[in-house]
């Protein structure tokens, strides 16, 4: 599984990354977690607001910092 957290490095983007990282670590997921700060790469996903969580190429969450429960649903756990 590949999980990308898209965002320019703002506080909300950092917070979203931490939430996703915590869920991945607590559930011992076999996942590659990547932080994407490149604007051109973010535009490839068609998002207009950050942070965004992308799982295996699909945008699952965008525009806000998700709760742990929502991240778990997005990851299918």
Catalytic residue among 3, 6, 13, 53: 13
Burial of 53 (0-12, 13-18, 19+ CB in 10 A): buried
Active site residue 13: yes
Half-sphere exposure of 26 (CA within 13 A, CB side): 11
* Set 1, 10, 11, 34: catalytic member: 10
Q: Tell me if residue 59 falls in helix, strand or coil.
A: strand
> How long, in residues, is the chain?
77
* 77 assigned to active site: no
Query: Active-site positions?
Result: 10, 13
């Amino acid at each position: 599984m590949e999980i990308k957290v898209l965002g320019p490095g703002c506080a909300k983007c950092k917070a979203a990354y931490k939430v996703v990282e915590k869920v991945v670590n607590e559930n011992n997921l076999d996942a590659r977690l990547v932080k994407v700060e490149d604007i051109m790469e973010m535009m490839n996903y068609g998002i207009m607001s950050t942070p965004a969580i992308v799982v295996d190429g699909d945008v699952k969450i965008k525009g806000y910092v998700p709760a742990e429960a929502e991240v778990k649903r997005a990851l299918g756990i």
